[in-house]
């Protein structure tokens, strides 16, 4: 699943490469991911439009057009953007191809067909967008604001951290990384956290996400469709030694989601019965 660091690097790349360019042709290969909120012909409305900005909020990418309309991408679990010349092979299950005036194509593919592409003149009409909390890297999200928002929730801290109405942009993988950096067990309940642990969580969130963006900017290049996660410390590393203490990293599967953590570095937390452990 693309998360904040992945999408921020993609946003920066596209800001450099497509802003100021005009969409000259639009090919809707498969219309099932398109959500046209304007009630006009999707391809006709995009054709001839100049891209004026590429923005991001949480896990949404927003393409502003000269007309005042927006194309909003929510990639969900498996949505990918491909930026290339026309002779490059298309990724499996490519849904949309935009050809730009410099000859490059911007393509959207989705192996699970879960992502959505919205055309709108009002971001409030995009499902889920108005309910988003502040972006996890928003400078206005101070420790005090973070604490105030955090204390609205009472569930397990990992579930809270991945709620987009709490802060936007964190998914399963980076939640594991943030909690490991903070030394907090993912199954602890939010009210159990001390003031000092809340501060550690906030600092870990900022550090992990910022460091990941820096790494990805160096490694992604033009291959914005490739997901790079091999530098993560604990996520998807069940059974390997913890980089901090050497204890075997635990892996728990519950609700179709994998959680990885170190029982030594992240003590405590009640793990429910009936879930798979490694």
Alpha-carbon Rg of the chain, whole angstroms? 20
The pairing of strands 116-120 and 34-36 is parallel
Residue 3 falls in the annotated catalytic set: yes
**Contact (Cβ atoms closer than 8 angstroms) between residue 51 and residue 63:** yes
Q: Percentage helix, strand, coil, to 5, in the chain? A: 30, 25, 45
Residue 59 falls in the annotated catalytic set: yes
| Calpha distance 84→98 (Å, rounded) | 11
Which is catalytic among the residues 56, 59, 200, 237? 59
**C-alpha closest to that of 114 among 165, 74, 173, 71:** 74
| Calpha distance 90→98 (Å, rounded) | 13
Residue 257 falls in the annotated catalytic set: yes
Residue 256 falls in the annotated catalytic set: no
Which is catalytic among the residues 112, 154, 219, 257? 257
The pairing of strands 116-120 and 70-74 is antiparallel
Length of the chain: 278
Catalytic residues: 2-3, 59, 257
């Amino acid at each position: 699943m693309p998360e904040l660091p992945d999408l921020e690097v993609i946003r920066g790349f596209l800001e450099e490469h497509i802003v100021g360019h005009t969409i000259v042709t639009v090919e809707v290969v498969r219309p099932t991911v398109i959500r046209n909120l304007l009630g006009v012909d999707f391809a006709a409305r995009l054709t001839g439009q100049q891209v004026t900005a590429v923005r991001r909020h949480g896990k949404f990418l927003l393409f502003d057009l000269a007309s005042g309309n927006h194309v909003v991408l929510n990639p969900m679990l498996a949505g990918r953007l491909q930026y290339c010349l026309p002779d490059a092979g298309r990724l499996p299950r490519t849904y949309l191809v935009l050809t730009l005036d410099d000859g490059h194509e911007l393509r959207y593919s989705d192996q699970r067909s879960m992502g959505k592409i919205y055309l709108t003149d009002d971001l409030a009409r995009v499902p889920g967008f108005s309910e988003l909390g502040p972006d996890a890297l928003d400078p206005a999200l101070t420790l005090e604001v973070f604490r105030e928002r955090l204390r609205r929730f009472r569930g397990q801290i990992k579930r809270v951290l991945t709620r987009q109405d709490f802060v936007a942009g964190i998914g399963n993988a980076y939640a594991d990384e943030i909690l490991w950096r903070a030394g907090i067990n993912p199954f602890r309940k939010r009210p159990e956290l001390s003031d000092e642990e809340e501060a550690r969580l906030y600092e870990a969130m900022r550090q992990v996400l910022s460091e990941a963006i820096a790494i990805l900017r160096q490694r992604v290049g033009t291959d914005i469709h490739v997901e790079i996660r091999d530098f993560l410390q604990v996520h998807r590393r069940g059974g390997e030694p913890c980089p901090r203490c050497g204890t075997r990293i635990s892996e728990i599967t519950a609700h179709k989601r994998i959680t990885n953590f170190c029982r030594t570095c992240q003590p405590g937390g009640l793990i429910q019965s009936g879930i798979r452990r490694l």
